[in-house]
A and B are shown apart, each in its own frame.
Chain A
Amino acid sequence: MIEYALWLIAGTVYGTVIGVIPIAGATIGLLAVFGMIDHFLLNPYLGVVFMTSFLGAVSSSDSYTSILTGIPGGGSTAASIIDGHPLAKQGQAGRAVGAALLDSTVNGLFWGTVAFGLLPFYGKLIMYFGIPEFAALMLVSVICVGFITVKNPWLSIISISLGLFLGLIGQDPGTGAHRFTFGWEYLAAGIQVVPIIAGLFAIPEIVSCLLEKNSRPAPINNYWKQLFSGFKDVVRYRKDAARGGIIGFVTGVIPGIGGSVGDMIAYGSTVAIHKDEKFGQGNVKGLIGCEGANNAQKPASLIPTIVFGIPAAPFAVIFLAVCTTLGLDLGTIQLVNDSKFIYSVTAGFILSTIVSFFLCIFITKLVVKILSIPNWIYAIMISIIVFWSSFQYTGTLNDLYILLICGVIGISCKYSGLSRPAVLLCYIIAEKFENYTQQAFTLYSLDEIITRPIVQVLLVIAVLLIFTNIKKFIKDKQ
C-alpha cells in the first residue's frame, strides 16, 4: 500500500512539474515512463497508478503556463490563453489561476469518476465486438482521426498514409516476412512507439522552444484574495464550467478530437452562448468555459484505449504502449474486469487531481520563478527525457538513428500542415487494422461480414464521415 502511495505522489509531483514547463505536456511527459519501466515489471499496477496520477496532475498544472506567459503548457491548454493571459496582464493572475484550478479539479473529479467508475459497464460492449466489428471500428477510427483533425482532405490522406506506412514497417503479420525495412534488420520489429512520439511531438517543440523568445511571466499580486475570487467565479459561472466538461468528455472519447480541438470547441461554445459579451480581453467566463475540457478529456480518451485498445489521443498511445509492455492487455475483457486495474486507474487519477489542486495552490509563487527560466534549459531537460526514453529499447545507436529520422518527419509534418496526431494514431492503428481485416476475411466470407449489424452501422459512419468532410471542404473553397 505504501508503495502505491509513493508512486501516486511521485506521479502527481512529476505531472505538476511537467504541466508547468512550457511545451512539455502529457504526451512528452509520459515518454519518461519508458525510462523507468523496470520498476513496474513485477507489479504493473504501480505503473498504472504512476501514469494516471501523472495525467490527473498535468491536466491541472498546465494552466499556469498559458495564463502567466501566454505559451501553452501543453497542446490542450491553448484556448486558456485567450482570456486567461489578458486577465494575468491586467493584474488578476491570482484570480485566473484560482478559476482555472478549481474548474480543472471539479471537472477532473467528476469526469474521472464517470469514465473509470463505469469501465466494467463499458467492458460488456467488448463481447459484442467480434473480429469483423473490430476491423470496422479501426476503419472508422482511421477516418475519424485523419479527416477531422485536418480540414484539407489531401493533407488528411497524406497524414493517414504516412501514419499507416510507418505502422506497417516491420513484419507481415501473416507470414513474418520483412517489409519496408530497407535492409535494416533493426526495423524488422517495426518502429517503436517512443521514437515515433518523440519525433512527431517532442523534437519539433524543442526546435520551436529554441527559436522562440522567452516570455516573462505576469506578476502575481494579492494572491490569496484573488485566488478565492477565482474560486467564486467558478461557482458563479458553473454552467460554463459544466459545458466545458461535457464537451471535453465527448470530444475526448472520439479518436483524434481531444486536446486542443476539444478545448477550442468548449471555448467557442462559451463565446457563442454569451453573444453580448467581449472575449479575448480577459473575460473569466472564457477561461472557465474551456479550462475544464482538458481535464474531462484525459479520462475520456482512456475509455476507448482501455475498452478497445484504440488510443483516442497521443498521450493515450503511450499509456497503451506502457500497459502492453507491462503485460496489461488493453482491449480485453480480462482487464476491464480486473478490479485491481480499475482501482489503480481510478485512484491514481482522482487522488492526484485532489492532491494536485492543493499542491498548485501553494506553489504558485514558485511557478512564477520556474517560468522565468530561459527556454533553452527546458529544451535540454526535454531532450534528456526524449533521448533517455528512446535509448531504452535496445540500448544501441540504432535507437538514436530512428529517433533522428522520426524527428525529421515530425518537423516536416509540423511545418507542412500535416496532422501529427493523425500520423501517430494511424501508425498505432495500422497493424491492428491490417490484422483484424486479414483475420476477418480468413474466418468469414464477405457476405457474412457485411451482414453483421454493428459492421453495417460502422461502415455507414465511415462513409458519412468521408462524405461530410469532402462536402465541407468543397463548400469552404467556394
Chain B
Amino acid sequence: MKKFLTALALTFSISASAEYIMIVPQQPGNGTSVWSQIVARHLEKQLGEPVVVRHIPGAKDIPGFNKFHNDLRFNDNIIMVSHGGNGIGYLVDDVDYDYKYYDSVGMMNLNIVVGKKQGVDFQSGTKAKIAGSSGRETDGMAIAMLLCGNLSTIQEYLDCWNDRVVWVNGLKGSERRLAFMRGEFNVARESVVSWNKYYTDNSDADAEIWFHHGVYDLNTKQQKEDPNFPPGLRFETVFEKTWGEKPTGPLYEAYTLSRNFRDVLQKALWVNKGNPNLEKLRSALTDMITDPEAAAALERETGEYEWIVGDDGNQVVDKIRKNINEQKLKDMVWWHENAYGYPSVFKSNLLN
C-alpha cells in the first residue's frame, strides 16, 4: 500500500502533461542536475515532446537510482540520469541498481583535473593535503601512486598513504576552493570547467595542473589524451615522468576499475532494456549533439567532450563490467575502507 501510494504521489507530482521524465538522483543545483536541465531543454526540441526533470535526491545519490531500478524503469517514458558517483557506488556500496538491466541512450566521458600549489615538490617529502569526499576516491588512488611509486602490496600503499597524505572529509566545493586559496590544502581537484573557472589565470589560487585522468578511446578501448589539455598531463604519463616506469601493481589495477566506472559513466542516460522508445530517444540525442546551440550550451557546462550514443554505449558498459575481477574489486573495497574510512561492501555478484 505504502509503495503504491508513494508511486502514485510521484506520478502525480511529475505532472500529467510530461511526456518524458528524466530522473536525477540529486538535489537541484548540483552538477548533474544542471547538466540534465540543459539536455532536457535541447532534447525536447528534437523530440518535439515535453521532457521534464524530476529530482529524487538521497544519501550518496543512491535512492533515486534505486527507485528507478525497482519501480520507475518499467515506465517507458522514464529516463534515468546517472553520474560518476553512481558508478563508484555500483562497485562498493550496497545498491539495488545494476547497469546490465538498462540500455544506454547516451553517455559522456568527462575528465577530472587534479592540481597542486605552484612549485610544491611532493618528492621532497611535503605532505599532500586534499579535501576528500565520495566521488574523489579515484583521485586519491592516483595521488597515492604518484607519491609512493610502484609498490607490491596494497598494505604498503596504505602505510605510505598514512605517512604522506592528509585526507580531509566534509568540505563543499566552495569551501575546498577557499581552503586551497588560503593554503590549508595544497592539492585541488575539479571538473575541467571548474578548473578553468576557479584556477586558470587566478593568481590568488596559485595553482598548476598536476595530472588528469584522460578520456576513454572508443576505438582502442584504452584511455587517451584529453584534447582539452596539452599532452603529457595524463596520469600514466606524469607517473612515468616521476618514477621512470609505467604504473603497475594492485592499486593501479583498482584505480583503472574505479576510473572507468567514474569517468566513462560520468554523465549517462538510461532506459530499461526493451524500452520501445529507445531508438527514438537515441535518434533525438544524435540530432541534439549536432545542433550547434545545444553543443555550445553543453560545452559551457562540461568542456569539449564527445558523446557515446547508441549501441556503442552498451558495448562500453559491457567492456568495463567485464574488467571487474575479484582481486581488483576486493582491493578497491579495502582501499575505500582503510584509506578513506568509507564503509564499503564487496559484492561477489558483480564478478563475471
Contact = CB atoms under 8 A, between A and B. Distances in A.
B11 to A, nearest CB: 9
16 contacts: A174-B170, A174-B341, A175-B343, A185-B59, A189-B63, A326-B28, A327-B34, A329-B174, A333-B181, A334-B174, A394-B55, A396-B10, A435-B170, A438-B169, A438-B170, A439-B170
The CB with the most chain A CB atoms within 10 A, among B29, B41, B177, B198, is that of B29
A177 B340 CA distance: 12
B28 A396 contact: no
A292 interface: no
B13 A395 contact: yes
Contacts of A44: 29
A131 interface: yes
A41 B37 contact: yes
A171 B60 CA distance: 9
B13 A176 contact: no
A38 B173 CA distance: 22
Interface in A155-177: 170-171, 173-177
A130 interface: yes
B179 interface: yes
A331 interface: yes
Interface of B: 2, 5-6, 9-10, 13-14, 27-30, 33-34, 37, 41, 53-60, 63, 129, 134, 166, 168-175, 177-179, 181-182, 184, 198, 341-343
Nearest to B11: A395
Nearest to A398: B6
A126 B169 contact: no
Contacts of B170: 173-174, 434-435, 438-439
B10 A395 contact: yes
Interface in A395-419: 395-398
Contacts of A333: 178, 181
B343 A177 contact: yes
Nearest to A328: B29
A186 B9 CA distance: 16
Contact of A189 (B6, B59, B182): B59
A439 B56 CA distance: 29
A380 interface: no
Contacts of A331: 174-175
Contacts of B343: 175-177
Contact of A394 (B2, B57, B181, B184): B57
A435 B169 CA distance: 8
Contact of A396 (B6, B29, B178): B6
Contact of B63 (A41, A185, A325, A443): A185
Given A174-B341, A331-B174, A443-B168, A324 B29 contact: yes
A443 B34 contact: no
Which 7 pairs of residues, A with B, have the shortest CB-CB distance? A188-B59, A329-B174, A173-B170, A395-B13, A332-B174, A435-B170, A327-B29
Given A174-B169, A391-B13, A443 B57 contact: no
A323 B18 CA distance: 27
A325 B27 contact: yes
B34 A41 contact: yes
Nearest to A177: B343
A175 B341 contact: yes
